[in-house]
Structure 1
Amino acid sequence: MTATSTAHVEPLTPQGSEVTPGKHRSTAFRPDIEGLRAVAIGLVLIYHAGVDWVPGGFVGVDVFFVISGFLITSLLVREIERTGKVALAQFYARRARRLLPAAALVLVAAAVLTWWLLPLTQRRVFGLDIVSAAFYVVNWRLADRSVDYLAEDVAASPVQHFWSLAVEEQFYIVWPLLIIVGLLVARRFRLPLRPTLGVALGLVVVPTLGWSIHQTATSPTTAFFVTTTRLWELGIGAAVAVASLWWKTLSRRVAAALGVLGALGLAYSGFLIDAGDPWPGSLALVPVLSTAALIVAGVSAADTGVSRVLAWRPFVWVGGISYSLYLWHWLFVVGGTAYYGELGAKRGLVLVALSFIPAWLSHRFVENPVRFSPRLTRSNGLSLSLGGNLSLAAAIAGLVLCLPLVTTNPGPSASTDPTKPFGAAAILADPAGAKELWKVDTAASITPSPDQATADVPDAYDKGCQVSQDSSTPVECVYGDENGTETVALVGDSKALQWITALDAIGKDRGWRIITHTKSACAFTAADVLKDGKPYDACNEWNDAVTSILLEEKPSLVVTSQNASKAAPAGSGSSSGTSDGMLSGLEERWTQLQDAGITVAALTNNASPGDEVYECVAQHPDQLSTCAFEAAYPTGKVQRAAAESVGAAVLDLSDVICPGGMCPAVIGDVLVYRQGSHLTQTYVSTLTGTLDARLVEAVAATPAAALVAG
């Protein structure tokens, strides 16, 4: 079973009652909850439109989570009290009818939007996003991407908003089963149902809230998306439902006061919380408890105060189509951004306003006809089959996007001219003419193809050798000759790790044991590395730990490279990095190693393009010269200065990447760049011989001369 929405479970409303048109409507209709949905979707829409004065609009999702937990639990508990059981097949069939038609329609629309407007090179990424959204696991995929340094240049996914739907669907698959377990326990020990379920909820809410707080502090990028940090929010809503009989005993005055407090809490959340705050964590208690208070207030004070305002007919109408609005609005934002560039608040508001049109149309002509179909409501099997087929159709739409852009691009052996120099060999074969390579507009083939560029990375990433930004624990991987008598360490960030393919081959040829210690966005220095204007604590701790390992293992040579050129002085606590700060940090770190008899060789950073080169190549395969860029020389100024200061070796390969100061996008039929300024693994492999020769030359006059001489 698939499908749920951001708090759009089968609502206790005329739109969501399990009846066919013309029959008596559910008396459980809560117009104030529909109005609360309208507030939640309004917060989300305004936030995504880019309105600065509502920086906390993303809390609308948390509001939806609480509503969902409340509504679904109310339905299940009332069903048990009415029939003594939970009809699981019927439960999931209702979900399929209610939610999957509109979701599948939007996923197919997202595939069309991706094909039409979004970067060619990201079709495969977004296609797989659509597949995972169709099966409601996209939140985990986005969580993985959020800590993937190689994915940092991926644009906003057209189905990114499905992460919250995935969280709810996973909750809905498990929650009815837990309710049934609670029912069985209550019967076995002759306990009252609602108190038993309350205890069970406590066993879910308390630990998952604690886990959310912990994960938000230690791994904030993944904590936002994963289900385990959000369960407590749905659990709070469920707890409100379980205790609903008690809420009816509250006086109208107390209930009205709760409504005011809830409204103030949501206002605080929307206007004063912003994306820079750790989320969800303990701060999410504000919108979650505020939403719970508003739901409670509507039990005994539905016709007064805030609850009466929420029941205003325009609010109820917006709440009724809020599921469709949530599904459609993000496509307008993503499509508008692709077409116009940065939207700005005015254009953003226009776009989200336009999303009301397809939202109403899909609600009127897709959701309701399927939901109230007499044939479907009579057959759980048919409803579930329809849901499965719709999800499959959406997944197929995503898979179509994964088809390669170039079907005949394959590699060195497929070249139309086997004698033609491949990759860097094109520069080495004609050094004088290499300065004109950037003017070449076409290539017989391009390896890797632009749509595969981001996957053309060393296998070290798949092996887990690259430490993520959140972790401070070193990971050592071994390459080259594993039984080699000499050890060479590759240390630094992803700009260091990009060279491992060549170093691996060199190590096997020379009998060197190559070990790696690399971490995303983390320069190897004794200075305080910064990230987003704050101390990058995980990097600084990792640096100290790796240094201790190197001093203990004593490799003959440490090869290091890095992207960052600025840092704060060690222990300063400063949030401002400087070149001098990085310089002193490199000098200190490298001196530590060299005093221990370990030679250091700094591989200078390669030039950085302003835009994604592989995307440019995909857009202009017959005008490759438009994708070339001028290199800023000299590269690696800070590294050079530190090496000169402490007597470390310097390796510079800029002339075989950007000959003559111009950096071609394609050299010798090989695409040079993947993400940002990272080199493709294919191009690095063609530099193996050059790196080997220059490594020998650079360290020949150092204590490692004996190492490289062999």
Structure 2
Amino acid sequence: MTSHSTYLNTRHFGSLDGLRFLCIAAVLWHHAPGARAYHQLDILLVRGHLGVDFFFVLSGFLITTLLLREDAAKGTISLRGFYWRRSLRILPVYFLVITLAGFNDIVLNGETEKAAILPYYYLFMANFIIPEHIGFLHPTWSLAMEEQYYLIWPLLLLLLPQRAIVPVLLGLIAVNVIAAMGLFSYVGITAVTVGDLRFSIGGATYAPILMGSLVAVILQSRRGFDAIAPLLQHKAAPWLCLAFLIFILSSLPKVLEGLPNLLIHTVMCLILITLVVREDNGLAGLMKLRLIARIGQISYGIYLYHLFARGAVVPVSMATGLDNFWLVLVAYSVLSIIVAELSFRFFESRFLALRHKKAETVS
């Protein structure tokens, strides 16, 4: 069994790249042309969008773990260092994709009315946009939510007394779930619309990010780790939790807002715990396969580029008569992976190389 000290000394959780692979595979399925034709076979096949929710759980866990470990090692959290590293990881490719998509719709396609909403993408407000999204940019709503979390959560961690962190997280999760259930409308709290933006958390999914953060806080403490890890360290635990997730995804009603989503996110958190409390977990052999791990490592790029790839593959498949669903799914997925790999090697890596050099001077 893994001890708490071993967990704290683990710098890279090897199975999490494999988890990213599963998340991005679900997203690719969800956005595949013609996938709706298969949705009637089993309600499980409609749930691909939950890959984004699992990404949220993972992000909340990793970011909070890094911040807590920095605080434990140095006695404080460097906000400048944190924002510098996050900016170099996220902004270059994100701004590139927004610029390319905006140029395609506004300039090449002449949809000049969309110029009014383009700045909101750069400001990470895509989750509040009311009009139809700029082509290829619909998935940026989730990145906007993550950036909002990145902006606020480290500051809260820095300012909150340690004893208040868990209650605050539980309170924020409760607020999100209550809002998703529409209960705030009964006390007169409704969305606020300003121009092309509608500010509301009713349909938002901040809860899984916060729940991932809660997992990090619990595991960071010896008491929390010793309470929960023994229950989930068995090698069969990842398989059992994954099977339970598949079961509830096949059993729950189509509308998941509120308590059903809370159950799903809780099971996602349990799966995450089974993968990090011991490196030789029952799924490690699969999760650490070279190809799977690599796709997981570049999943951020795949997420940003995959609609571009779909837009390139579909016209070709239709023109050549090779518009078979499975063929198109494989083709657009492979193209997404290739573009993301090239982007990572020749574009993103140039910025990532600056992270630790600069971080040493600002931390």
TM-score of Structure 1 vs Structure 2, range by shorter chain = 0.7 to 0.9
Mapping for residues 60-99 of structure 1, pairs under 5 Å: 60-99=51-90
Corresponding residue for residue 177 of structure 1: 155
Residues 247-283 of structure 1 show CA distances to partners (whole Å, capped at 9, x for unaligned) of: 3563376544542343124434666678xx2244222
Question: 1:32, 1:311 within 8 Å by CA — same for their partners in 2?
Answer: yes
CA distance in 2, matches of 1:216, 1:196: 25
After TM superposition, give the deviation of residue 325 of structure 1 in Å. Answer: 0.5
Take 2:243 and 2:19, find their aligned partners in 1: how far apart are those partners?
A: 13
User: After superposition, where does 1:509-658 map in structure 2 within 5 Å?
Assistant: none
Paired AA for residue 30 in structure 1:
F
Measured against aligned partners, the alpha-carbon deviations of 1:525-547 in whole angstroms (never above 9, x if no partner) come to xxxxxxxxxxxxxxxxxxxxxxx
Out of 278, 289, 292, the position equivalent to 2:269 is: 292
More helix by share: 2
Distance 1:273 1:115 in 2: 41
Distance 2:179 2:267 in 1: 21
Larger Rg: 1
Q: 2:103 aligned with 1:135, yes or no?
A: no
From 217, 238, 243, the equivalent of 1:242 is 217
Q: How far apart are 1:45 and its partner, in Å?
A: 0.5
1:360 deviates by 0.4
CA distance in 2, matches of 1:93, 1:268: 41
Following superposition of structure 1 onto structure 2, how do residues 6-405 of structure 1 map, counting pairs within 5 Å?
27-49=10-32, 50-51=34-35, 52=38, 54-114=45-105, 118=109, 120=110, 122-125=111-114, 127-141=115-129, 144-145=130-131, 154=132, 157-182=135-160, 186=161, 193=162, 195-214=163-182, 227=201, 229-244=204-219, 245=221, 246-247=224-225, 250-251=229-230, 255-268=234-247, 277-334=254-311, 336=313, 345-346=325-326, 347-373=328-354, 376-377=358-359
Provide the secondary structure at the position in 2 that maps to 1:238: helix
Distance, in Å, in 1 between the alignment partners of 2:12 and 2:57 is 17
Matches of 1:101 and 1:253, distance apart in 2: 38
**With CA pairs under 8 Å and 6+ residues apart, which has the higher RCO, 1 or 2?**
2
Aligned counterparts of 1:100 and 1:232: Cα–Cα separation in 2: 24
C-alpha separation in 2, matches of 1:273 and 1:316: 30
Mark the CA change 1:72 to 1:300 in structure 2 (over 3 Å): closer, same or farther.
closer
The 3-state SS of whatever aligns with 1:55 is: helix
Change (3 A) 1:365 1:139: same
Superposition deviation, residue 132 in structure 1: 1.4
Instruction: State the distance in 2 between where 1:104 and 1:155 align.
Output: 16
Q: Is the 8 A contact 1:258 1:293 kept in 2?
A: no
1:210 Cα deviation after fit: 1.5
**Unaligned residue ranges in structure 1 (runs of 5+):** 1-25, 146-153, 187-192, 382-710
Output the amino acid matched with 1:316: A
- TM-score of the two chains, using structure 2 as the length reference: 0.79
Deviations 1:311-350 (A, max 9, x none): 3332211110000110100222345567878976332442
Higher strand residue share: 1
CA displacement, residues 526-570 of structure 1 (integer Å, 9 cap, x when unaligned): xxxxxxxxxxxxxxxxxxxxxxxxxxxxxxxxxxxxxxxxxxxxx
Task: Report deviation, 1:117.
Answer: 6.7
Task: Specify whether residues 239 and 345 from structure 1 end up closer, same or farther in structure 2 by C-alpha distance, changes over 3 A only.
Answer: same
Cα distance, 1:239–1:326 mapped onto 2, change above 3 Å: same
CA distance in 2, matches of 1:62, 1:312: 23
Q: Is the 8 A contact 2:106 2:113 kept in 1?
A: no
- Identify if the C-alpha distance between structure 1 residues 59 and 117 changes in structure 2 by more than 3 Å, giving closer, same or farther: farther
**Contact 1:59–1:287 under 8 Å retained in 2:** no
Cα deviation for residue 304 of structure 1 reads 2.9
- Does the CA contact (< 8 Å) of 2:233 and 2:281 recur in 1? no
The CA deviation string for residues 652-682 of structure 1, in whole angstroms up to 9 with x for no partner, is xxxxxxxxxxxxxxxxxxxxxxxxxxxxxxx
Q: CA deviation at 1:300?
A: 3.1
RMSD over aligned CA atoms reads: 3.4
* Counterpart residue number, 2:4: none
Partners of 2:330 and 2:302 lie apart in 1 by: 13
Q: Is the 8 A contact 1:66 1:292 kept in 2?
A: yes
2:20·2:55 contact (CA, 8 Å) conserved in 1?
yes
* Change over 3 Å in CA distance of 1:40–1:236 after alignment to 2: same
User: What does the per-residue CA deviation read over 1:590-625, in whole Å, with 9 as the maximum and x for residues that have no partner?
Assistant: xxxxxxxxxxxxxxxxxxxxxxxxxxxxxxxxxxxx
In structure 1, distance between residues paired with 2:201 and 2:185: 16
SS of residue in 1 equivalent to 2:291: helix
CA separation in 1, counterparts of 2:293 and 2:205?
26
How far did 1:368 drift? Answer: 1.6
| Superposition deviation, residue 167 in structure 1 | 0.5
Q: Give 5+ residue unaligned stretches, structure 2.
A: 1-8, 40-44
**Partner residue in 2 for 1:706:** none
Structure 1 distance, partners of 2:199, 2:241, is 25
In the superposition, relative to structure 1, how do residues 209 and 31 fare at CA in structure 2: closer, same or farther (>3 Å)? same
Distance, in Å, in 2 between the alignment partners of 1:101 and 1:110 is 14
Distance 1:206 1:354 in 2: 40
Distance 1:115 1:335 in 2: 18
Per-residue deviation at 1:357? 1.4
Closer, same or farther: CA 69–206 of 1 in aligned 2, 3 Å: same
Q: Verify the 8 A CA contact 2:79 2:154 in the aligned structure 1.
A: yes
Letter of the aligned partner of 1:259 in structure 2? Answer: P
Once residues 289 and 236 of structure 1 are traced to their aligned partners in structure 2, the CA distance between those partners, rounded to angstroms, is 8
Q: SS of 1:230's equivalent?
A: coil
Q: Compute the TM-score of the two structures, normalised by the length of structure 1.
A: 0.42
- The structure-2 alpha-carbon separation of the partners of 1:361 and 1:266, relative to structure 1 and needing over 3 Å to count, comes to farther
The percent of aligned pairs where both chains have the same amino acid is 26
Cα distance in 1 between the residues matched to 2:28 and 2:199:
19
Is the 8 Å Cα contact of residues 98 and 371 (structure 1) preserved in structure 2? Answer: yes
Asked if 2 retains the 8 angstrom alpha-carbon contact of 1:205 and 1:235, the reply is: yes
TM-superposed deviation, 1:291: 1.8
